[in-house]
Amino acid sequence: MKGLARIKQDELGWVEKETPKIGPYDALVKPLALAPCTSDVHIVWGNAYMGSEPNRIVGHESTGEIVEVGSMVKDFKPGDRVIVPAITPNWSTVNSQKGFGQHCYGMGSGMSFVSAKDGTFAEYYHVNDADGNLALLPDNVSLEQAVMISDMMTTGFYGAELAEVKPGDTVAVFGIGPVGLMGVAGAYHMGASRILAVGSRPAAVKVAKEYGASDIIDYHNGSTVEQIMDLTDNEGVDKVIVAGGNENTLGEGLTVLKFGGVLGNVLHYDGVEKIPVPALGWGAGLSDKTIRGGVCPGGRARMEQLVKLIQYGRFDSSKLITHKFTNFEDIEEAMIIMRDKPKDLIKPAVILE
Amino acid sequence: MKGLARIKQDELGWVEKETPKIGPYDALVKPLALAPCTSDVHIVWGNAYMGSEPNRIVGHESTGEIVEVGSMVKDFKPGDRVIVPAITPNWSTVNSQKGFGQHCYGMGSGMSFVSAKDGTFAEYYHVNDADGNLALLPDNVSLEQAVMISDMMTTGFYGAELAEVKPGDTVAVFGIGPVGLMGVAGAYHMGASRILAVGSRPAAVKVAKEYGASDIIDYHNGSTVEQIMDLTDNEGVDKVIVAGGNENTLGEGLTVLKFGGVLGNVLHYDGVEKIPVPALGWGAGLSDKTIRGGVCPGGRARMEQLVKLIQYGRFDSSKLITHKFTNFEDIEEAMIIMRDKPKDLIKPAVILE
Amino acid sequence: MKGLARIKQDELGWVEKETPKIGPYDALVKPLALAPCTSDVHIVWGNAYMGSEPNRIVGHESTGEIVEVGSMVKDFKPGDRVIVPAITPNWSTVNSQKGFGQHCYGMGSGMSFVSAKDGTFAEYYHVNDADGNLALLPDNVSLEQAVMISDMMTTGFYGAELAEVKPGDTVAVFGIGPVGLMGVAGAYHMGASRILAVGSRPAAVKVAKEYGASDIIDYHNGSTVEQIMDLTDNEGVDKVIVAGGNENTLGEGLTVLKFGGVLGNVLHYDGVEKIPVPALGWGAGLSDKTIRGGVCPGGRARMEQLVKLIQYGRFDSSKLITHKFTNFEDIEEAMIIMRDKPKDLIKPAVILE
Amino acid sequence: MKGLARIKQDELGWVEKETPKIGPYDALVKPLALAPCTSDVHIVWGNAYMGSEPNRIVGHESTGEIVEVGSMVKDFKPGDRVIVPAITPNWSTVNSQKGFGQHCYGMGSGMSFVSAKDGTFAEYYHVNDADGNLALLPDNVSLEQAVMISDMMTTGFYGAELAEVKPGDTVAVFGIGPVGLMGVAGAYHMGASRILAVGSRPAAVKVAKEYGASDIIDYHNGSTVEQIMDLTDNEGVDKVIVAGGNENTLGEGLTVLKFGGVLGNVLHYDGVEKIPVPALGWGAGLSDKTIRGGVCPGGRARMEQLVKLIQYGRFDSSKLITHKFTNFEDIEEAMIIMRDKPKDLIKPAVILE
């Protein structure tokens, strides 16, 4: 079978491999929809690949059709159309039992795609523990919608959940790339009254407003901290979601946060050695401002929970997709677009039907 | 001054009293909007009045204008238009410090209106701890909207909060009187994907749908439990809000609840001695289905938090008002309508501007 | 192999069966310690057996030595001495992913012993998902201590956890059978300042005091509710654990609970159809007294967490054992003692080394 | 009256002032026990004084006897012996209603002593909201024990609470000054199985062990991170309390924390501009390691909750006191000792009876 791989550092290319073998609890899936993620870009052209193996097929966002299931799989069968989460934990480890399947064996190891085996940008891919990690695609949910759940929606909503957004809260969302936009949507669906979204690209601003942002903070207009304090009569915000920015964003978020507030971080501080926490903004350790940050949850229960928002008409996750392709081989161009980030890009996707 | 009082058991009537005196931390308020509550009806014509004093002025839902403030009041002044919560705790008691101001001195004692002093259906009324218990009425929030926050919105939303509704949850709401409708809205704003609302009166059904109910369960069509199980493919619901019904409703709620689910009760089991919990529906005590139930929170922080949902355009609390009056004296007719509950009634209100 | 079985309703007896076959993720274990539970008694002589199969081997409390492991088991090998929890979930189901492995497929189904396969009172028994459900027995933890973790300690501590005991809390524990005694210990280790334990049998009273009970409430001396209110200057208690009693105990617990308190139930209301919640004690639904109740968590992470309290010298779980046997066949007598409950009994156990 | 004051920067001295006037809800208290805190030292000889007023009397830890109460005080009277918390919030503000009385008006403003009025090192001092902020001293609690509750015990226990210590947890406590020792005790009373305490001074090490530390990590023996990882078989710890150290301690704590763990900070990062969070130890923002940090809660409910642990014999808070004085004027020497920190010092106190 054919797959799009990190041939070696800085080189993306097609490889021909054997179709994966599946174990008794696993499934073999062929893609119906694929989307590249910033982390795929970092794996190929950055320093995010932790493995040593060359020719590793990349990709972890997908929706697919089951081709084969192992003998012990009970709830799925060939032909089923399924949402495939980026995070497919071994649910049985001690970390998973404690509620952190995303770190089932260690940091972020719930994402076995790419880190432990070939990813989803292939004609077929392997999913461990099909009963525990797949969710049926409801008939009225489109492939465009479904493929945005695997990582974007679960991560962005997790940001809002980490921040413990409550009805009536004023929430600042730093960064309105695809994850930040989902953070806006998550905050909205948890009852935020105001959502101050930090970003400037017109395509993203448009979707941010559609997803519930009440105000857009553009850093071209001056300090984001000052703009947020102005908009809130110097009271600051109840909750903060950090979904984009740089090593100073955490500190900006803390600075605009009220005492007793919570900051939910889903930004990967890539290439940063020390993330500075400003003593002033954090009350020198004593402000009762909580800092949480993590990898999105995955697995079947999570996918089933999230897809219901789409299935029952409360949310349209597909608005992220600005660049749509229709052939399997287009995933290469989608990766390159993701790397080059043209101005009008939020998220590319390959939809195969 | 004039006020509408419980003259004695079963007798509602007008009384003439002295304008209340205020202490240094208090405010004197004149009503701009008033609404009767089922509990006012129970106080006059039922057995809900706990006091011994005749001629007690009733009413606890209101929005008003400040006429006078005590010498220690810092944040409010005469002329300010304010949301007045039904629950105005002494925030300093041990119970309040533990997070239960609604029970500041004991069961439900955070509602000092009627229980400890004259209520709000008067030309002037007394508010204890103005800085702690009043919230400024934002310019763009109508009196109709504001007066529905004092008790209806905070109670209904509390039901959803007690039930710990999370994005994607399927939620059953038992009862779509005004509190239940606010429970529907609360569940919606906390991210419910499906809201199965139990009720049948057309006026309420219409608002339930506008507030986010996805399905209406009418008990005229058979067992509510069976209808809910059918609609959920026998899986049941993630969360339950009980806002209306009788002594068996708690048990019905538990029966349709999934293992690990939470039931939030805001129904007052009035006149019931024992509320039966069916062993089968509650797993004989071992189902990990949590039962919570309480009085709505009040006070300034709560009012400020809730009004923001209206102020920033996310919610219109005024849809509850089916019967609107415009003269102060009409509060008597509003009370009688509340007692007689005509078919098209959700909630009456007197709006004085 | 030989096993002690429910031959049929009301008949306990020995059976000869084939040694269980194990799958690739499972383990075959031979017992080093066994203990009967009240629920074993109910399975044989009550109505608690939900299955249809005769000759089902009973028992779910044990510590053992691994005899064989499946090909996919990574962390255990033959010869390892292991704590075996009563609850051995399939960690991969939707319920498990939501934190309720004890109900992995449905009510209490995490306990596969007896309900879905033969139990532990056999020369060999099968453990599903060895890596997820076994915990190594530390060298300095005795078999007497270990076998009390499987169900007694995890259940009693869960009662204290459900009740959300916090440092300084006054806690009432209803029932000081073996689970209630562990509830006392759990409350103690979560920081209770006072533990009012309801019970009267001298053997249990002695251990209750050693485990941290500050006061013993004997119902022979009058109403337990009144005694608790007297001891607390009519303030009541912060938290309640219900571990024994009858259908009225839940109501008694609610009656002595402060507003805003939490009741954690681990009592199985066996043979009760309706558990009455007294409106007075529960504030007619509005007292903000939370009722939680569930099956103990099991699995590896839970066992590893609990055994550390014993391993590092903070707790001695073996004090429950009043009747100790030393031969495998003695499990029959232990079962009969458990059924007949002599006055000096807390818990019998068979210790094979 | 006489009081020990910050005359001006770097100058401690006695002043003569008028006895404070009290309002209707306040109390006038004369000290029975006093203790200086590191923050008093920072106020006089460091840069911690935020006010502009010279001759401000310092001190916030005390137990006292009521001399006079305002006309509205209901639960206390002259002659009552009372625990006086360092934090005496206005319980009525929006922040207080949200559960953060310690920041009632803004950062740390719940401590009105010294920051907003004269402190406790005086012949008489003023306590705002007596009913909300004082707690009766039980007869069997000594002054030595009581005066350690006001700040040391509530702060140290808060560290353990912020860290969400659960039964069985392995906990690292960084710093075993008086607050860190109370963090050890807090972790112990919340059920920690192992407590790895970082410190080296023999007097503190002795009390740490008595309060429940299972292991002492001495940085003189090498990297604390490495020692903790060695002691935990490279697994790290479940929870961390940071109660002492420098700007790198937060990072060390995060580094030894397991995925999904929680760090509770009660260290004031005094004089530090940026507290660095190491990307490696925090999983570059994605490790699901939560960082919490705050000022201790105060007020009556908190004091009543904590003193019960002493009153009912579960904890002896007085072990912190290594240097005991008996005359009021000795508070000056106690301050100087606190500044100079002799090797055998944990905490000085002046006990006046």
Give tens-digit pLDDT for C131-141. 999 999 999 99
Distance of CA B306 to CAs A233, B22, B153, Å?
18, 27, 8
Which H or E run includes A14?
Answer: strand A11-16
Between CA D267 and CA D110 the distance in angstroms is 17
Strand partners, B63: B33, B83
Q: How many C-beta atoms lie closer than 10 Å to residue C49's C-beta? A: 20
Contacts of A315 (CB under 8 A, 6+ apart): A185, A189, A309
Contacts of B194 in chain A (CB under 8 A): 308, 312
Q: Which residue has the tokens 């009627």?
A: B114
pLDDT given at position D317:
98
Contacts of A24 in chain C (CB under 8 A): 24
Mean pLDDT along residues D104-130: 97
Between CA D153 and CA C256 the distance in angstroms is 29
DSSP state letter for A122: B
What residue type is assigned to position A327 of the chain?
N
Taking alpha carbons only, the member of C118, C143, C151, C152 closest to residue C33 is: C143
Mean pLDDT along residues C252-256: 98
Give tens-digit pLDDT for D192-214. 999 999 999 999 999 999 999 99
Q: Chains C, D: CB contacts under 8 A, how many?
A: 65
Give tens-digit pLDDT for B269-324. 988 999 999 999 999 999 999 999 999 999 999 999 999 999 999 999 999 999 99
Name the neighbours of A, counting chains with at least 3 Cβ pairs within 8 A: B, C, D
Q: Do D193 and C169 touch (CB under 8 A)?
A: no
Tokens of A30: 């062929």
ipTM of the complex in this document: 0.97
List the single residue in D160, D168, D306 with the smallest CB-CB distance to C168: D306
List the single residue in D191, D194, D306 with the smallest CB-CB distance to C190: D191
Strand partners, C34: C62, C350
Distance of CA C58 to CAs C6, C335, D51, Å?
7, 10, 72
Mean pLDDT along residues C310-321: 98
DSSP state letter for D352: -
Strand partners, A68: A28
Give tens-digit pLDDT for B128-180. 999 999 999 999 999 999 999 999 999 999 999 999 999 999 999 999 999 99
Contacts of A280 (CB under 8 A, 6+ apart): A255, D273
Q: What is the mean pLDDT of chain B?
A: 97
Q: Do B93 and D304 touch (CB under 8 A)?
A: no
Q: How many C-beta atoms lie closer than 10 Å to residue D153's C-beta? A: 30
Distance of CA C66 to CAs C24, C116, C148, C303, Å?
14, 21, 19, 16
| Chain centre to alpha carbon of residue B249 | 19
CA dihedral C174, C176, C180, C184 (to 10 degrees): 90
Distance of CA C206 to CAs A85, C185, C191, C214, Å?
54, 13, 20, 11
Contacts of A177 (CB under 8 A, 6+ apart): A38, A199, A204, A243, A244, A346
Q: Are C114 and C108 in contact (CB under 8 A)?
A: no
pLDDT given at position A65:
98
Interface test with C, best of D162, D171, D193 (most C CBs within 10 A): D193
Contacts of D132 (CB under 8 A, 6+ apart): B92, B93, B97, D88, D89, D91, D299, D300
Contacts of C101 in chain A (CB under 8 A): 97
Q: Do C91 and A94 touch (CB under 8 A)?
A: no
Taking alpha carbons only, the member of B50, B250, B268, B161 closest to residue C250 is: B250
Q: Are A63 and A121 in contact (CB under 8 A)?
A: no
Contacts of D282 in chain A (CB under 8 A): 275, 293
**pLDDT band with cut points at 50, 70 and 90 for residue B50:** confident
pTM higher than the cut 0.95: yes
Between CA B317 and CA B143 the distance in angstroms is 10
b/e burial code for range C155-187 (CB count within 10 A of at least 16 → b):
bbbbbbbbbbbbbbbbbbbbbbbbbbbbbbbbb
Taking alpha carbons only, the member of A114, A267, A237 closest to residue A172 is: A237
Angstroms from B272 CA to nearest CA on chain A? 33
Between CA B128 and CA B73 the distance in angstroms is 11
List the single residue in D99, D106, D285 with the smallest CB-CB distance to A267: D285
Tokens of B308: 């923001």
pLDDT given at position A224:
98
Strand partners, A257: A237
Angstroms from D140 CA to nearest CA on chain A? 33
Between CA B282 and CA B266 the distance in angstroms is 19
pLDDT per residue of chain A (353 residues) written in tens, 0 to 9: 999 999 999 999 999 999 999 999 999 999 999 999 999 999 999 887 877 789 999 999 999 999 999 999 999 999 999 999 999 999 999 999 999 999 999 999 999 999 999 999 999 999 999 999 999 999 999 999 999 999 999 999 999 999 999 999 999 999 999 999 999 999 999 999 999 999 999 999 999 999 999 999 999 999 999 999 999 999 999 999 999 999 999 999 999 999 999 999 999 998 899 999 999 999 999 999 999 999 999 999 999 999 999 999 999 999 999 999 999 999 999 999 999 999 999 999 999 99
Strand partners, B66: B29
Helix, strand, or coil (residue B89): coil
**pLDDT band with cut points at 50, 70 and 90 for residue C287:** very high
Q: Could you tell me which chain B residue has the CA closest to the CA of D74?
A: B93
Residue D50 scores a pLDDT above 80? no
Question: What are the φ and ψ backbone dihedral angles of B168, each rounded to 5 degrees?
Answer: 100, -15
Between CA A234 and CA D107 the distance in angstroms is 14
Residue ranges of chain C whose CB lies within 8 Å of a chain B CB: 95, 98-100, 102-103, 106-108, 242, 250-251, 259-260, 265-270, 272-280, 282-295
Q: Are A147 and A347 in contact (CB under 8 A)?
A: no
Strand partners, B325: B350
Residue D109 scores a pLDDT above 90? yes
Report chain B's C-alpha Rg in angstroms: 20
pLDDT given at position C50:
77
Between CA A273 and CA A294 the distance in angstroms is 17
Q: Could you tell me which chain C residue has the CA closest to the CA of B269?
A: C284
Q: DSSP per residue over C170-229, as a string?
A: EEEEE--SHHHHHHHHHHHHTT-SEEEEE---HHHHHHHHHTT-SEEE-GGGS-HHHHHH
Taking alpha carbons only, the member of D133, D93, D88, D96 closest to residue D112 is: D88
Strand partners, B83: B63, B135
Between CA C264 and CA B179 the distance in angstroms is 28
